[in-house]
Chains A and B, each alone.
Chain A
Amino acid sequence: MSDTHAQTVAFVRHTEIPPAPPPPGQTGAVKWMRENLFSGPFNTIMTLLGVYIVYTLVVGIFPWIANGVWGVDNIRECREITQGNGGACFAVIEQRWQQLLFGFEYPSSEYWRPTFAFVLLFVAVAPVLFLNLPRIMLAFTGIYPFLAYFLIWGGTILIPITALLGFVVGYFAFRRLERNSFAAGLFGAVAAALITWWVTGFLVQAAPNFLALPEVASRNMGGFMLNMILGTVCVSLSLPIGIALALGRQSHMPIIKWICVIFIEFIRGVPLITLLFVANVVLAYFFPPETSLDLILRVIIMITMFSSAYIAEVIRGGLAALPRGQYEAADSLGLDYAQATRLIIMPQALKISIPGIVNVAVGLFKDTTLVSVISMFDLVGMIRGPILSSTDWAGVYWELWAFASVLFFVVCYGISQYSQWLERKLQTGHR
């Protein structure tokens, strides 16, 4: 039987053939392009338009960077070299980078101090940003503000040390008295800190040059350093104030609630620039006649008020998003208001509001450029004032603004990427 079969059928395949590759239009780059770039007439037009935009961008920017001139002294030499080939004058950044970063009055022999403080800033914020780092690093975060003050402003080391001492004494007083009640702890801590500062004040007066770095006055701060100082100081100061305001706005006590509401809505309703005007021309009227706060301190006060109102609104959103059951659970455990807030409510509310807080921080950091309007020489102020009006570099716009944009872009984009990473990480199912 099998013989007949073999004779009647001319060919029988005994082995399986290997699978044929898909047609070239259905694989790899071609398929991807078909689906993502040329899936229809409209899409094709858009793709061509996009390619054209990319082409113009590259053609516009590439010679500008590739033909860039480094290492000349002024714009005329630079123009001679470029001869209209579209090259940039990056020499201005090479020549003036100290001014762009530190302002034009910060003594150049002391540049290492703000640089060192900037590097230490990363060490200080690392344990706050990355929760898997050892918690002992938080101790350094606590010391950092005083260290940074000492590095940037200089003067005797006794001032930051005694300031720190006051906080430490206050903390221990709080721990000691907290067992009675939260309010007692708070007031005790404030009193203890004030007494410490008062006593140690004599010590500072007695030894004004003990381990002193050369002092740099506030008005000599400038450049990108000023933006960084304003940004970090104001955001870190406005966090606790913002928390207090948010809690006050949620409070059941009508008077406290309305004080907070009026403050927040007032600050959020006016532009930052009017608040800077207040810092510049009005605030001095409200201090005792003999005191003279310097401008940078007045600006810090106003920007802190500004950002704390915004942070308060973000945290209020976090408080409102907490399920009612969390509040009730805390109450049913017999926790009082301070305990419930500290142990149950705030950790969760803050976690929810981290992306919002980061947004406020980024926005605030960008807004620190506004101080150039009240004639402070931050990065924008330095470019618009001393550098663009100097005879050497008048007319070098694009290089300088590109430099400033890149600096801000790197910082802001970095922070917002961190925030997105954290958001993904903290997504634990419940909000």
Chain B
Amino acid sequence: MTIATDPPKESFRLSMLINDTRYRSYTFQAIAVLALIVIFSILGNNLAQNLAAAGLNISYEFLGDPAGYDINQQPIPYDSQSTHMRASIVGALNTLIVAFLACVTATIFGVIAGVLRLSNNWIISKLMSLYVEAFRNVPVLIWIIIIFTVTANVFPQPRDFRGDNPTASMVGDAVAFTNRGVYVPKPVFEAGGWIVVAVFLASIAGIFLWRRYARKVLFDTGRIVPVFLPSLAIFFVPALLAYFILGRPIGLEYPELRGFNFQGGLTIRGSLIALWFALAIYTGAFIAENVRAGILAVSKGQTEAAAALGLRSGRIMNLVILPQALRVIIPPLISQYLNITKNSSLAIAVGYMDLTGTLGGITLNQTGRAIESVLLLMLFYLTFSLTISALMNVYNNSIKLKER
């Protein structure tokens, strides 16, 4: 005969804080919080003592003072009398400019190299492996400096373009590669120029609408509406029409050799080129690997199944392979974009005035506000990264395989 007894009702004892798993986690967390408070108070105390000893305080008032230094690439108006705040904004814009350019170029390089590495052509696939391995395994800083050296030492000097027998010549009379930078024509907007741009943007929106319409017709009636040629037409025709009807409101200002240097046009400085191409080529090698992995991740059965359904090879690629490969490719691609943005801080090595060069470089050295500057610098990159990651998570959840 068994007697069922209730388990003894224990009252809370102090030792349960250690021995009972129900309470132990509270103990550990309390210890963690306590340790954190102790560490932070020690660090804060040291900071206060050191600052007091150096006669400093934490203050962001220096951001309102005139910066007093020049920035060689100004997306927004800036002169040496502008504030440190404005210098930082110019720097941040420069960071975004180089990051954007490098992201676009790296994607192009990466996709081309990744696809070609899977090519049946032996020599091409080997060349692409060579590219990927050579660029992946050498620090990006070395690549940046090497390309900067090329722009500064291999490109001809502006004076080589002068004279009756110039040793250098402009490419198509429009682009000049010099050791002071690359000079390209600059678009000049006259009255009505913006209308052309607006029409162009509207026609891009129109392409998306047309594609959506084509898809809707396909799903509703089964009739295939052509997409490629109409898209091409929508892309070019309205903008060109507007351009000529309005009397060519967008002109180009060509760079010209005047005096010792080129005048007019748009200057792309050597430091921007170095940073841009080094980041693009370096990250392109990583993206190539991601693309290759993404394409290999789609099993061969998918292609065969699509072929068995009677799809043609173009449609197999568009409707079956790419959607599945992109699911694998895009998350690492975005993290490569974040890497580009973070690596663009290496600009300081070649004197490109990005945020690290302005706020973390000259402003920091001039004002001596190390803690404040570095904190702001980190905050900028952190905000940028976390925003992109948050968007990324939303995207990942939306394309996640809805299994079971």
Neighbouring A residues of B53 by C-beta, 8 Å: 289
Beta-carbon contacts under 8 Å, A378-396 to B: 380, 384
User: Which residue in A50, A269, A274 is a CB contact (below 8 Å) of B124?
Assistant: A50
Known: A37-B122, A274-B345, A380-B145. A281 touches B139 (CB 8 A): no
Contact in complex: B138, A282 (CB < 8 Å): no
Of the listed stretches B24-32, B173-181, B269-277, chain A binds B24-32
Contact in complex: A413, B133 (CB < 8 Å): yes
Q: Cα distance A272–B360 when bound, in Å?
A: 13
- A395 (CB) vs chain B CBs: closest residue: B153
Contact in complex: A366, B138 (CB < 8 Å): yes
Beta-carbon contacts under 8 Å, A327-362 to B: 362
Interface size range of chain A in the complex: 35 or more
Neighbouring B residues of A238 by C-beta, 8 Å: none
Contact in complex: B371, A408 (CB < 8 Å): no
Residue A21 CB within 8 A of the other chain: no
Q: Cα distance A94–B261 when bound, in Å?
A: 40
Neighbouring A residues of B137 by C-beta, 8 Å: 362, 366, 408-409, 412-413, 416
User: Which residue in B43, B49, B342 is a CB contact (below 8 Å) of A289?
Assistant: B49
- A415 (CB) vs chain B CBs: closest residue: B137
Known: A269-B386, A405-B142. A281 touches B374 (CB 8 A): yes
Residue B16 CB within 8 A of the other chain: no
Contact in complex: A274, B50 (CB < 8 Å): no
Known: A287-B46, A366-B140, A408-B142. A39 touches B120 (CB 8 A): yes
Neighbouring A residues of B385 by C-beta, 8 Å: 268-270
A360-376 to B contact mask, C-beta < 8 Å, 1/0 = 00100011011011000
Min CB distance, A90 to chain B, in Å?
17
Of the listed stretches B69-77, B230-238, B247-255, B376-384, chain A binds B376-384
Q: Cα distance A287–B133 when bound, in Å?
A: 42
Neighbouring B residues of A10 by C-beta, 8 Å: none
How many residues does chain B have at the interface if contact means C-beta atoms less than 8 Å apart? 53
Contact in complex: B46, A286 (CB < 8 Å): yes
Beta-carbon contacts under 8 Å, B124-144 to A: 124, 127, 133-134, 136-142
Contact in complex: A285, B142 (CB < 8 Å): no
Q: Cα distance A14–B243 when bound, in Å?
A: 86
Q: Cα distance A380–B145 when bound, in Å?
A: 9
- A51 (CB) vs chain B CBs: closest residue: B123
Contact in complex: B121, A47 (CB < 8 Å): yes
Neighbouring A residues of B120 by C-beta, 8 Å: 35-36, 39, 43
Known: A36-B121, A269-B385, A282-B371. A409 touches B46 (CB 8 A): no
Q: Cα distance A408–B50 when bound, in Å?
A: 40
Q: Cα distance A416–B138 when bound, in Å?
A: 12
Contact in complex: B139, A285 (CB < 8 Å): no
Q: Cα distance A372–B371 when bound, in Å?
A: 21
Beta-carbon contacts under 8 Å, B21-73 to A: 25, 28-29, 32-33, 36, 43, 46-47, 49-51, 53
Contact in complex: A36, B25 (CB < 8 Å): no
Given contacts A253-B25, A370-B346, 18 further A-B contacts (CB under 8 A): A35-B120, A36-B122, A46-B124, A50-B123, A254-B29, A255-B29, A265-B386, A269-B382, A270-B381, A281-B374, A282-B371, A286-B50, A289-B46, A369-B141, A380-B142, A384-B145, A405-B146, A412-B138
A-B contact pairs, 9 of them (CB 8 A): A37-B123, A252-B25, A255-B32, A269-B381, A271-B345, A285-B371, A366-B140, A405-B146, A412-B138
